[in-house]
Structure 1
Amino acid sequence: MGAVSAVDRDRAPKQDRSRATRQRLLAAAVACLAEHGWAGSTVTVVAERAGVSRGAAQHHFPTREDLFTAAVEYVAEERSTALRALFPEGGADRHEVVSALVGLYTGPLFRAALHLWVAASNEEQLRSRVTELEARVGRESHRIAVELLDADESVPGVRESVQGLLDMARGLGLANLLTDDSVRRERVVAQWAGLLDEKLG
């Protein structure tokens, strides 16, 4: 086996640093979007929060739109991974699965995504990429829900029931933005889990 060159030895740490910088920028972008909304979340603010220069931020993400759509997509992927990690053996008790799925729509990620949706409704350059991102995230959420609920979508009405659960979860997430809706949310989760048990068998 040949000797490793100094260039190759150098390349790995640089790639690691670059990856770490990118992760910090993505996390800072989501936090800024959740806390300050679109208007208050500039590349400069995000770079400052991430502890990197504006130039470094623009090296990774040339435009503001690139940065924020990448941030929400990245954390959505992390969220899906975390959800799967809760149920490594696949479907569990349906009440637990429904509760975990509803949990996807509370917290800073959902708040950040919501700010991005509102911005996209007014910003032409954002709209197409946010629409595409949401379609992809929606398909992935639906696929995970079907797997975890052990739902057979060949049965009439099952697909709509699963989609209804995700739509309801998004609505509960919206209600939670203004007030702590946890007590009512838990009652709705229990009701939906019961309905899905009846529908899915």
Structure 2
Amino acid sequence: MTVSHSPVRRRTQADRSAVTRTKIIQAAVSLLQTQGYAATTIQRIAKTAEVSLGALQHHYPTKALIMATVLRHYAVKRAGLYRHAMSLKGRPEERVDAMLDAMWALVTDGPDFIATVEIELARRSDPELKAATEPVLARIDQFMTRWLSGSRKAPPDAHFVRLRQINSALLRGISVEIARGTSVSELKDSYMLWRNFTRQELLKITVDKP
């Protein structure tokens, strides 16, 4: 009896390039978390990713472009987590709870959030970084505000925008506290105090929404 085997698909150049880009971004995120922005040089990123400096610069000619890609990478991850969490819930209360729980998970699960904070702080004194990341951050902020508010076409509720700004500031502060060594369990107790308040405020908007 002859057993047929499906041919093994050979990796294309596009596949190899995608793997290299992923390794570079993962290395950058890890270094940003552990070493900070200034120490996250392209040489260190290449070494950590185990790719040549030439290969890194082929995909990302500058450090600023790597950082812009890190921000986009995190935004995609964040949107995916929110979408999954809220797709499993039906009532407004359940969707709000899912969104707030997802926010906490994003800050505490892995190095991505503190990496984005490092990038945002470094923009103050790095004109090249600011120029490369400004349009990325603007698109992310606009999309996330409209999408999370449920107002993808009409302008989002002004109260929701303010709540989201405050919540984003709180999450950045929590990520810095984690980096300083404050225990996650202690910080979660503090987050739950805020969560109860913001849940009530969000439901004032969401429940009354047609």
TM-score, length of structure 1 as denominator length: 0.81
Aligned residues: 187
Instruction: Tell me, in whole angstroms, the C-alpha distance in 1 between the residues paired with 2:200 and 2:40.
Output: 42
Instruction: Tell me, in whole angstroms, the C-alpha distance in 1 between the residues paired with 2:159 and 2:45.
Output: 39
Specify the code of the residue in structure 2 equivalent to 1:171: A
Residue matched to 1:68: 67
Instruction: Tell me, in whole angstroms, the C-alpha distance in 1 between the residues paired with 2:75 and 2:140.
Output: 7
Unaligned runs of 5+ in 2: 1-8
Residue matched to 1:175: 173
Unaligned runs of 5+ in 1: 1-8
Q: 1:30 to 1:190 in 2, by over 3 A?
A: same
Residue matched to 2:3: none
Report how far residue 40 of structure 1 moved: 0.5
Structure with the bigger RCO (C-alpha within 8 Å, sep 6+) is: 1
Residue matched to 1:6: none
Report how far residue 75 of structure 1 moved: 2.2
Instruction: Tell me, in whole angstroms, the C-alpha distance in 1 between the residues paired with 2:194 and 2:142.
Output: 23
Instruction: Tell me, in whole angstroms, the C-alpha distance in 2 between the residues paired with 1:23 and 1:152.
Output: 33
Q: 1:68 to 1:151 in 2, by over 3 A?
A: closer
**Secondary structure in structure 2 of the residue aligned to 1:87:** helix
Aligned-residue sequence identity (percent) comes to 24
1:161 to 134, 152, 159: 159
Instruction: Tell me, in whole angstroms, the C-alpha distance in 2 between the residues paired with 1:64 and 1:40.
Output: 12
Instruction: Tell me, in whole angstroms, the C-alpha distance in 2 between the residues paired with 1:91 and 1:161.
Output: 23
TM-score, length of structure 2 as denominator length: 0.78
Contact 1:25 1:46 in 2 (8 A): yes
Specify the code of the residue in structure 2 equivalent to 1:137: I
Report how far residue 54 of structure 1 moved: 1.1
